[in-house]
Structure 1
Amino acid sequence: MSDPLRVLSIAHAAVSREAGRLRYYPLAERGDLELDLVVPARWHQFGRVIAADPADDPVRVHVEPIRLARAGPMGWYLHFYPGLRRLLRRTRADVVHLWEEPWSVVALQACLLKGRAALVLEVDQNILKTLPPPFEAMRRFVLARTDHILSRSPDATAVVRAGGYAGPVTMIGYGVDETRFRLAQTPPPAHAGLRIGYVGRIIEEKGLDEALDAMARATAPVSLAIMGEGPYEAQLRRRAAELGLADRVTIRGWGIPAEVAPFIHGLDALVLLTRTTQAVREQFGRVITEAQACGVPVIGSECGAIPSVVGPGGWIVPERDPEALARLLDAIAAAPEDRAARAAAGRRNVAQRFTYDAVAQSLVRAWTEAAAARRGDPAANTKAAFRHPDLPRTQR
């Protein structure tokens, strides 16, 4: 029997179970894999300090201090782990996997310390920018030594290709916690008209004012429910009042995680109308798959990865086009059978592509092929040249 594949995965997103650690759990009982997960003891994000969940998980988790967690204009990308050399020696990793961008200091640190281990990077960044020194040089240095890329979207793949990466790519989504995001156990309270909703940060780039403009144009009675907070809330409330929609718009702050699914259950459709800017292009949109897992279809814009993630489980409208959105709202309000059909298609979309099991299998496939290629297995490069699952056709 061959030795198990030893993998050291470094992921600040796994600081909490709900944010990113659960996707590793399906791998806990595999006899062909020894997995060690490294997470920061404390993480700073959107003005909050997140303390790591205890390391009492089915997989081995190392909660480690980091340095430069908040330093400089590059924010998240300057941190590194003082204890990484020790962990690499202890685990004798065959593969080092980083859920970090290639210009991050921790990616450079792992690249320099990994020894003979294969290097796998998981990337989200989908807007190509020339980075200031020394980050552009760091990106090219790391990508030149990367054995396999796990990519969140075709746009993210294009960014690493432009940075000099020429190796194999495996596409990977975000997993959905199906124990939390699932069909409602009891029917939600009845409501009049069509209820659309949004969960997330209230910022201008999310296009919520376009939802208001579309509601004002639509002939069907449409209400908007929002769960979230952000700097654009005051402007959004003013716009709703100007359009005479104040009584049809409700905004509540962030709820605890257990409150998100019940909020989504009360919607007829969820909206994610992100606008493309020089700094913003939707990288994935986790709330899309969370809504679909709850049996709620999604209205998305054409921004970034939204159309491919929505798949057949909703509708896509052009960016910055409230007139098109108004026509769609009227059509949806008049066709409950279409909403039901797309809700069912959305649940199938999640089951096929975005369960934690599906995400875990993508991880293992990339790790295995990277290790084989590093050992010089010629078959590994052939079968891993480019992996891109067939995406459902976008529904308009």
Structure 2
Amino acid sequence: MSEGRPLRILSIAHPAVSRAVGRRRYTPFAARRDLDVHLVVPATWHQFGRDTAADPPPDPGVTLHVMPIRLKKAGPMGWYLHFYPGLRELIRTLAPDVIHLWEEPWSVVALQASLLKGDAALVLEVDQNILKRLPPPFESIRRHVLRQTTHLLSRSPDATMVCRARGYAGPVTPIGYGVDPTVFRPDPAADRRTTTSSRATPLRLGYVGRLVVEKGLDDALDAMARATAPCTLSILGEGPHEPKLRDRIVALGLADRVDIRGWGTPDAVAAFMRSLDALILLTRTTHAVREQFGRVIVEAQSCGVPVIGSTCGAIPDVIGRGGWVIPESDPAALAALIERLAADPGALARTGEAGRENVLTRFTYEAVAEALAVAWQAAARDTRSRENLHKNGSVTKTKVSPSPVGNDRAI
């Protein structure tokens, strides 16, 4: 690694194909003179049945490299098969100090980067939080990439556990998702509930996200049918579970209290959230689903709207003091909470303020950029130290016993 110049980072991140979402967290690096950040994104990305073309440069904080990929939608693992034909030449040209992958460790692009990295430190950013054996060759890819990883950026303790169980033994830096508080902002002019209107105004609940059975919207409908306090539910999203949801709404006699509408722009989503008293995210754990973060939590909290979440995955940690956590698949618990909040609307305002503080402290783009910088710099220092040890001939080998948690046969 070269001394006397900014640390050179090559960040490979398919979520950064969009400037409005994944790329915003790199913007704070425009003010950093100690980091030279290069970002690689796919020219076209395929997800949820749609192709998205990459937003073109320029972008503050990074030098953007929009590159074609192969196998963008092939195979049972979906997007995890993609790789960049031009990555070898880019790494040779840039000679980065750190290669950062916002990709899971079993992805083909992670394998590609680990084989091409040369002397660069490898920083891996992970979301996957369910421990299970992957089919060949993905399990072998994961173990190889984790052995090559210098530093881990983890979205949740469960995601860290999965990597530890598969052989990673190095340092970890927690990282969240960022939210733009200028878009997702409270509306002081909104008609918010007050203590004097607690009985007259229905509690306004809302949901934003995919309409799939794992999101627990059926539990919300059952809770509304149980509760005696007046409440409404507005749903913003699309998905395969919508027809069954509509049937259940009618069957429970909730047609005049529940509405479903399609996706909107970020500004439209923010306006929708500001119209609510509370957002719900009632994800249920399955063999294939455990909430990895819940971006809508921090978007709602940034609007000053508290969140009602289930105990699934990372939801309780992300909510913090800015909401309420109830057991998964428990309509009775949600119905009881609806009764309490309808009787004490002041709790909504207090908890909404706590949620806003949670976001400003933990989940701004500046906070996310700082977590990235900390991990990159730590990885560079660790790699430089190992290089110096090798030069001085003082490296010793240590045998590490495998963790019993990592025994595939026990899973």
Kindly state the Cα deviation for residue 215 of structure 1 after the two structures are TM-superposed.
0.5
Matched residue, 2:175: 172
Matched residue, 2:44: 42
Matched residue, 1:278: 287
Taking the TM superposition and a 5 Å limit, the aligned residue runs for 1:289-328 are 289-328=298-337
Aligned residues: 378
Indicate whether 1:139 and 2:148 are aligned.
Answer: no
Matched residue, 1:334: 343
Q: Could you tell me which of 77, 95, 108 is aligned with 2:98?
A: 95
Matched residue, 1:158: 161
The 2-side partners of 1:30 and 1:352 are apart by 20
Kindly state the Cα deviation for residue 129 of structure 1 after the two structures are TM-superposed.
1.3
**Match of 2:245, as an amino acid?**
L
| SS of equivalent to 1:316 | strand
Kindly state the Cα deviation for residue 236 of structure 1 after the two structures are TM-superposed.
0.7
The 1-side partners of 2:74 and 2:325 are apart by 39
Matched residue, 1:76: 79
Matched residue, 1:24: 26
**Match of 1:54, as an amino acid?**
P
The 1-side partners of 2:39 and 2:345 are apart by 45
Matched residue, 2:404: none
Indicate whether 1:363 and 2:360 are aligned.
Answer: no
Q: Could you tell me which of 124, 133, 148 is aligned with 1:130?
A: 133
- Contact kept, 8 Å, 1:313 with 1:346, in 2: the verdict is yes
* Structure ID, larger Rg: 2
The 2-side partners of 1:76 and 1:241 are apart by 37
The 2-side partners of 1:109 and 1:54 are apart by 24
The 2-side partners of 1:358 and 1:377 are apart by 29
The 2-side partners of 1:228 and 1:111 are apart by 37
| SS of equivalent to 2:31 | coil
**Match of 1:49, as an amino acid?**
D
Indicate whether 1:354 and 2:363 are aligned.
Answer: yes
Kindly state the Cα deviation for residue 188 of structure 1 after the two structures are TM-superposed.
4.6
The 1-side partners of 2:31 and 2:334 are apart by 47
Kindly state the Cα deviation for residue 19 of structure 1 after the two structures are TM-superposed.
2.4
**Match of 1:34, as an amino acid?**
D
Taking the TM superposition and a 5 Å limit, the aligned residue runs for 1:248-287 are 248-287=257-296
After the TM superposition, list the runs of 4 or more consecutive aligned residues in structure 1 that deviate by more than 2 angstroms. Answer: 188-192
Matched residue, 2:219: 210
Kindly state the Cα deviation for residue 189 of structure 1 after the two structures are TM-superposed.
8.2
The 1-side partners of 2:386 and 2:85 are apart by 34
The 2-side partners of 1:228 and 1:261 are apart by 14
TM-score (norm: length of structure 2): 0.90
For residues 1-32 of structure 1, the C-alpha deviation after alignment (integer angstroms, 9 at most, x for no partner) is 83210000000000001220000000122111
| SS of equivalent to 1:198 | strand
Kindly state the Cα deviation for residue 182 of structure 1 after the two structures are TM-superposed.
0.6
**Match of 2:147, as an amino acid?**
A
TM-score (norm: length of structure 1): 0.94
Indicate whether 1:86 and 2:89 are aligned.
Answer: yes
- Contact kept, 8 Å, 1:177 with 1:355, in 2: the verdict is yes
Percent of matched pairs sharing the same residue: 67
**Match of 2:73, as an amino acid?**
R
For residues 240-274 of structure 1, the C-alpha deviation after alignment (integer angstroms, 9 at most, x for no partner) is 11111111001011112220001001100000000
